[in-house]
Amino acid sequence: MLIDVVTIFPETVECSLRTGILERGQEDGIIQVRAHDLRDFTDDRHKVTDEPPYGGGPGMLMKPEPFFRAVHHCRRGQHNSRVLLMTPQGRQLNHKICEELAREEHLIILCPRYEGVDERVRQWVVTNEVSIGDYVLSGGEFPAMVVVDAVARLIPGLVGEPESVRGDSFAQAGLEGPQYTRPREFQGLEVPAVLLSGNHQMIARHNCEQSRLRTVQRRPDLLR
């Protein structure tokens, strides 16, 4: 998979790519993530990417032309590209959306700043608007990397243990249950005896019950 991230702060994206599975996935050729400086797609000597909005109002609005040029540049040689705009107004990211995006060949992620982008970018360039929650950040770089990380780990071969992905919270329409490792006893709290029994059928049943119980307690909406 190829992912292009367009931003005025490419160093923020590049820093995130030098750790964990994203770094390993790129080294193994499973995923390629490229950061593009939006200023490189301006046509004035000051590399302006924002202007005051028509009609007045606070803050600055990002201009449409640099985004149009950036998307055109990223699409070269790519036949199927999906363009994501990170915005609080978008569809809230969830596991199902991540699964859909993981099946794509090419993603282009736009990272707005300030008061957002000119509406014509939404109308003529963007295919999906994505939010990571009901709150506002200074820009789209961190939300973009949330998308990149969440999508990347669903690409076959990127995570060393595929079973760990299939057992994640939300992958099975519920939350993952409690888990334990050594020591067997810690500050008076012991590992449930069933997990030490060696009976895989009983352990699987226990884990399923604990997963459902935690989901009922914390996210009953997932069961609906």
**Can 88 be counted among the known catalytic residues?**
yes
Residues 54 and 135 in one domain: yes
pTM of the model: 0.90
Catalytic residue among 88, 122, 176, 219: 88
Residues 181 and 108 in one domain: no
Residues 141 and 70 in one domain: yes
What residues of the chain score a pLDDT lower than 70? Answer: 160-164, 167, 169
Identify the domain containing residue 87 by its residue range: 2-152
Q: Parallel, antiparallel, or unpaired: how do β-strands 128-131 and 32-37 relate?
A: unpaired
Residues 119 and 213 in one domain: no
pLDDT at residue number 171: 73
Q: What phi, psi does 213 have (nearest 5°)?
A: -60, -45
**Can 82 be counted among the known catalytic residues?**
no
Residues 28 and 53 in one domain: yes
Catalytic residue among 104, 115, 129, 176: 115
Residues 25 and 127 in one domain: yes
Residue 175: inside a domain: yes
Residues 103 and 209 in one domain: no
Number of domains comprising the chain: 2
**Can 161 be counted among the known catalytic residues?**
no
Residues 33 and 136 in one domain: yes
Residues 206 and 104 in one domain: no
Residues 146 and 172 in one domain: no
pLDDT at residue number 170: 77
Residues 99 and 172 in one domain: no
